[in-house]
C-alpha cells in the first residue's frame, strides 16, 4: 500500500464524507429515540445488523437474541461511562463483534462514532495510529 497522505488527519480532511447514503439516513432517523430511551429493540437490532452485514452468515446468531437480551444489553451499553464498556456490552449479543457493535453506536450517534471494521483498522495501522 502506498501512502497518499502524510498523516491520518490529512487523509480525513481530504476524504471524509459528511453526507449519509440514501438508505442510511432513514435508519439513523428511525433510531433517534435511542438517545432518550437508552436502548434499542430486537427488531431495530436485527435491522442494524443487516445494514452492517447484509450477507446471511450470522443471521441465525442474531435471531437467537431475545427481546429482553437486546434491550438489557443495549441499555447497559448506552449507560456505560466509556466507549470500551459500550462495545463490550454490545459484543455480548450473539453474533456481534466490534465491527457490528461500532455500527450500532454509529447509527445511533453518527456525530460521535464511526464504524470500525478490518479496513479501518488496517488504515489506522498503516498510518501508525494504533
Q: Largest Cα–Cα distance of the chain, in whole Å?
A: 47
Looking at the domain assignment, is residue 90 inside a domain?
yes
Q: Per-residue confidence of the chain (130 residues) as pLDDT tens digits?
A: 788 999 999 998 998 888 888 889 999 999 999 999 999 999 999 999 999 998 877 778 999 999 999 999 999 999 999 999 999 999 999 999 999 999 999 999 999 999 998 999 999 999 999 8
Do the domain assignments include residue 11?
Answer: no
Structural domain includes residue 84: yes
Residue 3 forms part of a structural domain: no
Answer yes or no: is 35 within a domain: yes
Burial of 10-32, coded b for 16+ CB within 10 Å and e otherwise, reads ebeeeeeeeeeeeeeeeeeeebe
Residue 2 inside a domain? The answer is no
In a domain, 12, yes or no: no
Cβ atoms of 34 and 108 closer than 8 Å: yes
* pLDDT one-digit tens code per residue, 83-114: 999 999 999 999 999 999 999 999 999 999 99
Q: What is the pTM of this model?
A: 0.88
Q: Which domain holds residue 121?
A: 21-126
Helices then strands, counting H and E runs in the chain, come out as 9, 0
Domain count for the chain: 1
Query: How far is it, in rounded angstroms, from Cα 55 to Cα 62?
Result: 12
Amino acid at each position: 500500500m502506498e501512502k497518499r497522505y502524510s498523516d491520518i488527519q490529512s487523509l480525513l480532511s481530504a476524504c471524509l464524507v459528511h453526507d449519509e447514503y440514501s438508505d442510511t439516513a432513514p435508519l439513523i432517523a428511525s433510531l433517534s429515540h435511542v438517545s432518550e430511551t437508552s436502548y434499542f429493540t430486537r427488531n431495530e437490532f436485527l435491522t442494524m445488523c443487516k445494514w452492517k452485514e447484509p450477507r446471511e452468515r450470522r443471521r441465525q446468531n442474531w435471531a437467537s437474541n431475545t427481546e429482553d437480551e437486546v434491550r438489557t444489553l443495549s441499555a447497559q451499553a448506552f449507560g456505560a461511562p466509556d466507549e470500551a464498556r459500550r462495545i463490550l456490552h454490545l459484543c455480548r449479543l450473539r453474533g456481534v463483534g466490534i465491527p457490528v457493535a461500532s455500527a450500532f453506536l454509529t447509527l445511533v450517534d453518527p456525530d460521535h462514532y464511526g464504524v470500525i471494521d478490518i479496513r479501518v483498522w488496517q488504515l489506522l495501522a498503516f498510518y501508525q495510529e494504533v
